[in-house]
């Protein structure tokens, strides 16, 4: 079974609301020094943009933490939150733009033993379901901030099998108050690896996909 080819730089160099739904079904891969390959299929992501009150890039200028988010597309932006968790994003948009897609959940494919050891649970549905769980399962932390997914060796994003639009659902973003009305969370409708129980609409029912502009 092939997981496909690396996604090229140009894939990431667009606005986050366009890249986010197209990341579903793609495969995050990590090569460990001992040869182990960790792989998981993305099933839930969220888009963040400049001028978006929920985004770390809201102010339009980088801070020491958010510098990577404003850099070239195709790199990993890792941040530390709530005093104990790491979350990771794929940087999108042109260099200089503070735009990224938060990786929220994935379906584990290979390297499950290592993920189990990293996560202290044997339940496959709890290995990568949640942004901080995903980073913990993959061993992604501060050292991985800024890693290039396009040219780098240890972390890559493979093309996998993108989802048909009708199997993609949308909702408001999780854990967001300011800017919470934007329906910028995208997930695989049928996936057992997505947190359930939140109102959603089919992506194909949303007419303004990829523009990111909202009325008013």
Applying CB under 7 A, does 141 fall inside the site for DNA? Answer: no
Task: Find the part of the chain contacting DNA (CB under 7 A) among 28-36, 126-134, 144-152, 157-165.
Answer: 126-134
How many residues sit in the footprint of DNA (CB under 7 A)?
39
Residue 66 contacts DNA per CB under 7 A: yes
CA-to-CA distance for 190 and 159, rounded, in angstroms? 20
- The minimum distance between CB 215 and DNA, in angstroms, equals 23
Structure tokens at 89: 């994003």
Hey, CA dihedral for 166, 185, 109, 39, is it positive or negative? positive
- Applying CB under 7 A, which of residues 39, 68, 87, 106 lies at the interface with DNA? 87
Taking the least distance from each CB to DNA, the nearer of 3 and 187 is 187
CA distance 63 to 43: 30
Residue 55: φ, ψ to 5°: -90, 145
Binding positions for DNA, 104-123, rule CB under 7 A: 119, 121
55 contacts DNA (rule: CB under 7 A): yes
65 is a contact residue toward DNA (CB under 7 A) = yes
Selected from 112, 132, 150, 210, the binder of DNA by CB under 7 A is 132
**Which residues have CB under 8 Å from 212's CB, separation 6+?**
15, 16, 17, 18, 47, 49
- Which of 178/190 has CB closer to DNA? 178
| Paired tokens of 147 | 């890693």
Binder of DNA out of 15, 26, 41, 133 (CB under 7 A) = 133
Q: How many CB atoms lie within 10 A of CB 120?
A: 8
- CA proximity to 130, closest of 174, 97, 166, 165: 174
Locate all alpha helices (DSSP H) within the chain, ordered by sequence.
9-12, 16-23, 112-119, 131-138
Residues found near DNA in the complex (CB under 7 A): 46, 48, 54-59, 63-66, 69, 77, 79-85, 87, 89, 100, 102, 119, 121, 126, 130-134, 173-178
């Amino acid at each position: 079974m092939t997981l496909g080819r690396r996604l090229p730089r140009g894939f990431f160099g667009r606005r986050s609301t366009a890249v986010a739904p197209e990341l579903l079904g793609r495969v995050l891969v990590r090569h460990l020094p001992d040869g182990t390959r960790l792989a998981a299929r993305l099933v839930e992501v969220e888009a963040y943009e400049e001028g978006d009150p929920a985004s770390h890039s809201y102010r339009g200028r980088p801070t020491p933490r958010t510098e990577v988010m404003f850099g070239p597309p195709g790199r990993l932006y890792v941040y530390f939150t709530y005093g104990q968790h790491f979350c990771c994003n794929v940087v999108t948009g042109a260099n200089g733009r503070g735009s990224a897609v938060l990786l929220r959940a994935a379906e584990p494919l290979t390297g499950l033993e290592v993920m189990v050891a990293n996560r202290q649970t044997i339940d496959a549905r709890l290995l990568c379901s949640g942004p901080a769980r995903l980073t913990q399962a993959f061993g992604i932390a501060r050292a991985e901030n800024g890693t290039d997914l396009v040219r780098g060796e240890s972390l890559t994003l493979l093309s996998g099998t993108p989802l048909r639009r009708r199997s993609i659902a949308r909702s408001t973003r999780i854990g967001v108050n300011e800017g919470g009305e934007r329906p910028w969370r995208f997930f695989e409708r049928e996936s057992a690896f997505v947190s359930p129980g939140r109102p959603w609409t089919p992506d194909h029912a949303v007419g303004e996909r990829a523009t990111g502009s909202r009325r008013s």
